[in-house]
A and B are shown apart, each in its own frame.
Chain A
Amino acid sequence: MNTINQSNRTYTEFVKGLWKENPVFVAVLGMCPVLAVTNSAINGLAMGLATTFVLVGSSFLVSMVRHWIPKQVRITTFIVIIATFVSTVDMALEALVPKIHKELGAFIALIVVNCIIMGRQEAFAAKNTVKLSIADALGMSVGFIFALVTLGGLREILGSGSFFGFLLFGDHFEPWIIMILPPGGFFVLGFLLLFFNWLKKNRDERLKKQTAVLSKTMQGA
């Protein structure tokens, strides 16, 4: 009974980041990398993976040491932990995959100010067990990657006429350059947020109708 509950809980904490509490489309967090690096799908994916490593690593450490950190200095300590992870990732990427490191440029160092990471430490890892914190961090990361690749993919298709570097259209396609410029990021993100809110509203209304019908039949019986 206990283990079933526990694995259920782990699963719930993982899944919530994918859709219901998606860090980008629902919580609208971490807008700096979301808007800045998503001019192509591959950049979005690489940024998402780097963030995943930092987020999971930080959540693991923070949840491990959570009992020893006095409340007054917790934010400072979290920042030290996150910054250490980011610097290590920065150096490791430069040593192991110099090409990708070159591509992401300054944005690796900027992971440290991504509020998704700080937010998950403060809101979750500082209060929960290691296992749940990692589930939470992984869920949020996958949700973040999903958002970055969606946004980057759409912008790349519209702005460069390609997807993950493969040209989709013939020579006659005139790329919509503004889509890979900063304003394009705002446009596409705005429309995506509209779309996801519309989906949510639709679903809520459907649910409401179903409950109404259900309660009517109950009364009838």
Chain B
Amino acid sequence: MSEQFVDREIPIQSSSEPSSLRLIATLGIAGLLAGIVLVGAYVFTLPIIERNKEEALQEAIYHVLPGCSKYEALFLKDGQLVKPEKNTEAGSQHSVKRIFLGYNEKGAVVGFAIPASGPGFQDLIKLIYGFGPKADVIIGFEVLESKETPGLGDKIVKDQHFIGNFSALSVEPSLEGTPKGSKTKPNQIETITGATISSKAVIKALQVSLGEWRPAIQQYIEKNTLSN
């Protein structure tokens, strides 16, 4: 191997200390360029990411409300469900908690799709579930976002048996976890072997969310006498 491929030593490195001004300038320029690149990437990807999330949410709503073909968003305001006002719709859509009322093709109510979240094994588990208000049952369930242990906790996302729990799950008197194969009551959820903590986290998140939304939903139904 000949000498010419070995890079020559840079004189400034071996002979003298560079001035602190030069060090500051180097880091300043590096930081500035990195900042520009990052802001550019952020601005460029943000609308795509938002659109992806919106699409995923829409898909999830149709998934947890079987037979749903149309939905509208409802907001919680002073303990009551209200339809979005024109001026709040655009700006505060992401900061206000919202649920979705789904209708089927004939215009009858299918149920409410309710996003919820709760602490899982590692991070917040974000999920959405369908709630049939008349029979007080959960009719669908999907995990939107989770960082549960791959191969174990993330079975709450993929395990069909676990997800099957939520096709006609009574919420009266309260949700209850039980080991796989031992379900006897309509309000029991069979947890996943090897993912007990994640299963319980899901149940707790659902219970908390139900406690928060059910009174408002019941009020809304009485007021609007929805046929379900």
Contact = CB atoms under 8 A, between A and B. Distances in A.
A215 to B, nearest CB: 26
A53 to B, nearest CB: 13
Contacts of B27: 73, 76-77, 80
A136 to B, nearest CB: 13
B1 A9 contact: yes
A5 B49 contact: no
Nearest first, the 5 A-B pairs at minimum CB distance are: A180-B151, A95-B45, A95-B48, A84-B34, A91-B45
B7 A77 contact: no
Interface in A150-195: 159-160, 177, 180-181
16 contacts: A9-B1, A39-B150, A40-B150, A40-B151, A70-B22, A76-B30, A77-B27, A80-B31, A84-B37, A91-B41, A91-B45, A92-B45, A95-B44, A98-B56, A128-B7, A129-B7
Interface of A: 5-6, 9, 37, 39-40, 43, 66-73, 76-77, 80-81, 83-84, 87-88, 91-92, 94-96, 98, 102-103, 105-106, 127-129, 132, 159-160, 177, 180-181
Nearest to B12: A70
A4 B176 CA distance: 72
B152 A177 contact: yes
B58 interface: no
Nearest to A72: B23
Interface string B58-91: 0000000000000000000000000000000000
B50 to A, nearest CB: 10
Given A72-B18, A180-B151, A87 B41 contact: yes
B152 A88 contact: no
B12 A159 contact: no
A95 B49 contact: yes
A30 to B, nearest CB: 18
Contacts of A71: 13
Interface string B128-172: 000000000000000001010111100000000000000000000
B226 interface: no
Interface string B36-52: 01100110110011001
A88 B151 contact: no
